[in-house]
Amino acid sequence: MLLVLTGITMVMVGILAVMNELTREPIAQANAKTLSDAVSAVVPGFDNDPIAEKRVEEVDGVSYTIYPATKGGEYLGAAVESSSLGFGGQLTIIVGFDKDGKINDYSVLKHAETPGLGAKADTWFKKGNKGDITGLSPANGDLTVSKDGGQIDAITASTITSRAFLKAVNNAYKVYQGNADTTTGATQTVAQAK
């Protein structure tokens, strides 16, 4: 019986190894396309390759990725990938900032939030929705939910997710502020907005 179980285990390990190898490249391509689409959505109009020009910034043991966007050599802003711990686990977003530090848009890359509740973060904070954050800048203070005295409506029945989302946005802004393109004056503009 031991030999039969060992044989079955070895066959299953072999099948899993083959399947892993077969799906590795398609998964990597799908992830790259998702990232490319997200960067294009949150910082529109660039003509460079922000993904190729990305920079990784480590702050307090957390890695943030900055994707600078330019058009004709002129700095437009950047997309910043940021994460925070939500109700169901890690919430990873990419936030686009213009050269003045205002939020263009965002895209949720990964989350494990409750379907129908916290999962609404992918649209709740978009332009025209109840929690709209577009056009806002955390330069004058962190964005917070109204329950905490802030100006942003939390997702109904998902205050923890809303807080986690806004924490990721605020952290992305802080990283953006420290990494804005100094040759264009973007850092100075953002700093002056404080």
81 within 8 A of 92, measured Cβ to Cβ = yes
Is residue 6 domain-resident? no
Amino acid in the structure at residue 76: L
The total number of structural domains in the chain stands at: 1
Q: What is the DSSP code (8-state) at residue 145?
A: B
- β-partners of residue 144 are none
pLDDT digits (tens, 9 = 90+) for 110-125: 998 888 888 899 999 9
The model's pTM is 0.81
Domain region containing 165: 42-193
pLDDT at residue 179, rounded to an integer: 59
Is residue 28 domain-resident? no
Tell me which residues of the chain have a pLDDT lower than 70: 179-194
Is residue 182 domain-resident? yes
Is residue 7 domain-resident? no
Is residue 166 domain-resident? yes
Is residue 120 domain-resident? yes
CA distance 91 to 111: 5
Structure tokens at 56: 């990784």
CA distance 61 to 74: 32
Is residue 149 domain-resident? yes
pLDDT at residue 114, rounded to an integer: 86
Sign of CA dihedral 140, 144, 148, 151: positive
